[in-house]
Amino acid sequence: MKALQTIFIALCALTAAPMIGAGGLDDLQAGTRAHNQANYDEAIRLYTMAITAGELAPVNLLIAFYYRGNSWYSKQDVDRAVADYSEAIRLNPQYADALRQRALIWTEHKNDFDRAIADLSELIRLDPQDTVSLARRGSAWREKKDFERAIADYSEAIRVDPKDTFAWNRRGLVYLMLGNYRAAIADFNSAINIWPEDSHSLYGRGLAQRMMGDHAGGEADMAAAMKAYPTVAESYRRDGVQIK
């Protein structure tokens, strides 16, 4: 994980000066090495030793909880991951990496969109230019059928970064679900212009074209998308789009 590597660099910088509790830091660093080698059980054991030793400074303690959460997440034990991310957030309520990972679990594993929106809203408060969190909050609103707020978040992400193909595609998806096919096609076109290989936007454009009566153009787009990405139709069904 990029966040893991970033924090590890900061941790190495901390160890350049003498500190009380070097043993806890040794376990923390060893845990990171084990995690990077995909030895998650060993990483969890070492992080737990670092945490329970009672020697870590507060900043390193919250890092240890975050790291251990990452190892639990890599083992697909999302409940323990949430517990560790939550402890890191308790120690520092503005710890963006832990908020981001916990929000990911709420959306991708728990379908708890209210909690996801709460975490993502805090991330956006901390960094209003965070287009990833804006788009992900838009998707959480979409799952709650609050399409107006979903469009607002996707639009803000696009305003901040006009080349954000994910936001263009997801806003196009909402317009498609609402039956605003012209707006959907315009957004899918914007995504495709930025990334011509965007199979999701190509398929969405095909659906919208077909719904507007352009069956030949729609089928051509959909066929091209499915050739490149055979499961794209299923992804649209999971998003709640009725495909006939």
- CATH label of the domain that carries residue 77: 1.25.40.10
Q: Which residue, 70, 54, 60, 74, is CA-closest to 29? A: 60
Query: Where is the domain boundary, 92, 115, 146?
Result: 92
> What integer best gives the mean pLDDT of the chain?
91
Q: Is residue 157 part of a domain?
A: no
**Average pLDDT over every residue of 21-48:** 92
Same domain flag for 5 and 86: yes
Q: Is residue 103 part of a domain?
A: no
pTM of the model: 0.87
**Average pLDDT over every residue of 197-206:** 97
Length of the chain as a residue count:
244
pLDDT tens profile 11-24: 433 333 333 345 68
pLDDT at residue 204 tops 60:
yes
> Percentage of the chain surpassing pLDDT 90?
88
Query: Where is the domain boundary, 75, 92, 109?
Result: 92
pLDDT at residue 134 tops 60:
yes
pLDDT the model gives residue 207: 97
pLDDT the model gives residue 244: 73
Note whether 133 and 139 are within 8 A (CB). Answer: no
> Percentage of the chain surpassing pLDDT 70?
91
Q: Which residue, 125, 90, 85, is CA-closest to 103? A: 85
Q: Is residue 190 part of a domain?
A: yes
pLDDT at residue 85 tops 90:
yes
Q: Is residue 130 part of a domain?
A: no
Q: Is residue 117 part of a domain?
A: no
How many domains, in total, are found in the chain? 2
Q: Is residue 106 part of a domain?
A: no
Task: State which residues form the domain around 54.
Answer: 1-92
pLDDT the model gives residue 2: 39
